[in-house]
Structure formats: C-alpha cells, structure tokens
Structure 1
C-alpha cells in the first residue's frame, strides 16, 4: 500500500502555475492531466478543481478521488515528472473506478507509465 507524503504535493501558486504553463496537457471527459518534465519539481503532484464544478463539497470529493487514483498507481509512474490533475464537470458524478481508468488512459497516452504495466481495476474498499 502506497502513501502520499505531504512533501510530494504541490501547494504554492507559483508551482501550480509553472506546471500549468510549461507542462503538456492531456485531456478526456473526466480530467485534464498536465505533465511537466523537470528537475525542480521532480515527483511532485497537484490536484485542482475549479468553482465551475459546484460547491466545496463537490470540489473536495473530486480532488479526493483524483488523489486516490494517483496514490494507487504512483508506483508505476516514471521518475522525473510532475503532474497536475484538474477535475472536469463529468468527474462530479463519476466514481472512483471511472476516474482511475481515465487517469490510467491519460498516463499511457502521455507515456509516463514505467514499462508495459497492465492494470486490472478491482472493486476497492476505499473507492465509493
């Protein structure tokens, strides 16, 4: 079981802006994934959900599900990349498995998965 330490999470606005402006974006209906290859933010990850998604409860749920899908698959991501997850409107009504599948599809498209790792997303206790 992997944890997500606080020192690996993007927190400062300038860090978010750097990944957002200089990173390459990949999108599907649930999320936008920004990938930034750099030594400065190596291994950092950020999660965002704008006010268009709804109230604070809905935004926090989307960010929590994005964090969980990243946490469960962080071992398969290549070193030296920083990621920024931005939730989209469809993510509000999506389940954990839907977001995890969307993340894995974008990660494969971005070429940040280490090797040819095949995943089977089973029903997990912490996905609701």
Structure 2
C-alpha cells in the first residue's frame, strides 16, 4: 500500500499514486498557473522550469508569493521587523501567482481557494468555481 503522507494534493503524485481512481475527482487548491486569472503565473512557471527542470507545485508558488510580499513590504514600508509587520498588516492586497492576498484580523492570510479536478490524467481547473 502506498504512503500518501506529505504528498501535496496538487502534485503529479496524486495521479501517479491514484491512477484511474482519481479521474474526475474535484478538490480545493491554492494554485493553478493561469495567466489570465493570475497575471505573472505563466512567467513564474517558465522561470521555475528553466531553473529546476520541472513545473512548480503549490508550495513553490505560495513561497514565491510570500517572499515577494516581504520584499514589497521592505521596499515600501522599511526593512525593520516592525516596518515589515506593519506594512503587511495594512496591505490592501498583494497580487501574486496564487491570486490576491491580504491578512485578516488574526494575521492569517486570506488566500483564494480554487477548485481543481483530474481530467484525462491532468490536474486542471474545475469547470465550476466557488
């Protein structure tokens, strides 16, 4: 029996381990490279593939956006810990490759959730979105 612990649901391992059983399954996700929906995402994918030789997974895209949020905070708010924190807390939204982000009153990021599905052995956007 395969061990699925630690396997991100938006990685190719879903299809590798699940095979035909995952065809048509619909599940939530936080990342899908779509240049129309998420500007810059296709350029991110191309640069990632050039550097690492594979397509980025969800956590690579989220880390990319988190890093760019902090860099923006440093450029626009200052480089001290307090300045970065204050900037992020009051940020009205950051548009990244995973969508638009902002922080709530509990300092948690509000990340847009998308619905994905497996179609013809590939992970794609589900036809209906929330």
| TM-score where L is the length of structure 1 | 0.27
**Normalising by the residue count of structure 2, what TM-score does the alignment of the two structures yield?**
0.27
Which of the pair has more CA radius of gyration?
2
